[in-house]
Amino acid sequence: MASDSLRRLAADFKQFLAAQDEEDIIPAVAPKRAAAVVSVSKTVNSHALPPMKEGETLTVEFVKATPKETVPVATTENAMNTAQKTKALEELAETIRNCSRCPLGSTRINAVPGEGNIDTDVMFVGEGPGFDEDRQGRPFVGRAGKLLDRMIAAMGLTREKVFIANIAKCHPMTDPLHPEKHGNDRAPNAQEIACCRKYIEQQIAIICPKYVIALGGVAAKSLISDAKSLSALRGRFYNLHLDSVELPRPVQIIATFHPAALLRNPGWKKDAWNDLQLVMDALGLKGARK
Ligand code: SF4
């Protein structure tokens, strides 16, 4: 590559790096900025790369960013009280409502940070908001949400006693040009999950429940960090490890079916109930056993 092309490319990259969130850039990249090879974190959007001319080549080395806490979370020495948790979660929700880290930010009606009891032992995490959730800004309020309410009640709990959230906070659509269409929901893709993941991690670290129940394969694979199928992952507990924040105390995660999948396949409800009973046994909940 000609030296002026290389210089132009390096200048483009300098601009590109300056435009990224600070937390997305690895500090060690700075000495390499003058070269055409740079390191960026895995959360940098590929669509944000500078335009390339035909014949130009570019090497981008993806390196995991140094874990960094971006919101205050509890530590084993200094547990957060309810007021501190409330403040931290409200600030995080405000950040989420203003977020445009991935393309879903430009097509959503409302971001859906999550809601519920911040001192709970049980947190449910789905994959992303759907049509109804996008309109109300609340998680699991459509048909699948009604079934989730019944699952929670069967455990002997109520919606007000647990926290409910999603991996992706904005509505992923198959046809974003027609948001009014029903049946337009899809699971968040890998890029959207990578961009949004830090928010659910921060929520889990702030709330620090005893158990996270991942609803569906997308949430299960992402949070358990295992690409196995949901059928292979469900039915047992895992120790939860987060990428971006340290948990103040150990949290267990278990995977089960997403309520929307249970509506389509009622025969899976028995297995889902078995998964929920593992959590109930661990917490000593009597529930409404069937
Ligand atoms: S899905 Fe997450 S990362 Fe993407 S815009 Fe919404 S809040 Fe931001």
CATH of domain 82-283: 3.40.470.10
Measured CA to CA, the distance from residue 69 to residue 202 in angstroms comes to: 8
How confident is the model at residue 171, as a pLDDT?
Answer: 97
**How far, in Å, CA of 282 to CA of 286, rounded?**
11
What separation in Å is there between the alpha carbon of 107 and the centre of ligand 1?
Answer: 10
The ligand 1 atom at the shortest distance from the C-alpha of residue 96 is 7
Question: Ligand 1 centroid to 270 CA: how many Å?
Answer: 34
- Report the alpha-carbon distance of residue 121 to residue 221 in Å, rounded: 22
247: its two tokens:
């948990």
| Ligand 1 and 40: CB distance under 6 A | no
Is 195 near ligand 1, meaning CB less than 6 Å away? yes
Tell me, what's the pLDDT at 45? 39
Mutation choice for ligand 1 from 43, 44, 195, 200, CB with most ligand atoms inside 8 A = 195
For atom 3 of ligand 1, the residue with the nearest CA is 196
User: Could you give the CA distance from residue 254 to residue 202 in angstroms, rounded to a whole number?
Assistant: 19
Q: Mean pLDDT over all residues of the chain?
A: 83
Query: Atom 4 (ligand 1): residue with closest C-alpha?
Result: 102
Strands 115-116 and 122-126: unpaired
**pLDDT for res 272:** 98
Residue 93 beta carbon below 6 angstroms from any ligand 1 atom: no
Q: Is a pLDDT exceeding 70 seen at residue 131?
A: yes
Per-residue pLDDT of 192-218, as tens digits, reads 999 999 999 999 999 999 999 999 999
Query: How remote is the CA of residue 2 from the centroid of ligand 1, in Å?
Result: 39
Spell out a b/e string for 184-206, using b for 16 or more CB atoms within 10 Å of the CB, else e.
bbebbeeebbbbbbbbbbbbbbb
Q: Is the CB of 204 under 6 A from ligand 1?
A: no
Q: Which residue has the tokens 């200048």?
A: 11
User: What are the residues whose beta carbons fall under 8 Å from the beta carbon of 228, sequence distance 6 or more?
Assistant: 221
Q: Is 167 in the pocket of ligand 1 (CB under 6 A)?
A: no
Centre of ligand 1 from the C-alpha of residue 92, in Å:
12
- Asked if residue 52 has pLDDT above 90, the reply is no
Per DSSP, which regions of the chain are E strands? 37-40, 59-62, 115-116, 122-126, 163-166, 211-215, 237-239, 252-256
The residue type found at 165 is A
87-128 pLDDT, tens digit each: 999 999 999 999 999 999 999 999 999 999 999 999 999 999
Res 31: pLDDT: 32
Q: Please determine, for residue 60, whether its predicted confidence score (pLDDT) is greater than 70.
A: no
Most confident of 34-43, 57-66, 161-170: 161-170
Q: Is 196 in the pocket of ligand 1 (CB under 6 A)?
A: yes
Weakest-pLDDT range from 30-39, 134-143, 178-187, 245-254: 30-39
Contact between residue 159 and residue 166 where contact means Cβ atoms under 8 Å apart: no
pLDDT value at residue 287: 82
Extents of the domains making up the chain: 3-62, 82-283
- Distance (angstroms) between ligand 1 centre and the Cα of 152 equals 27
Share of the chain above pLDDT 90, in %: 69
Q: Is 105 in the pocket of ligand 1 (CB under 6 A)?
A: yes
d(CA 47, CA 100): 13
To the question of pTM greater than 0.85 for the whole model, the response is no
- Ligand 1 neighbour 99 (Cβ under 6 A): yes
Q: What HEC string does 169-189 produce?
A: CCCCECCCCCCCCCCCECCCC
Task: Please report the pLDDT score of residue 134 as a whole number.
Answer: 97
The backbone torsions φ and ψ at residue 220, rounded to the nearest 5 degrees and listed phi first, read -65, -50
Mutate to test the pocket of ligand 1, among 169, 171, 173, 200 (most ligand atoms within 8 A of CB): 169
Q: What is the pLDDT of residue 80?
A: 85
| pLDDT at residue 142 is higher than 60 | yes
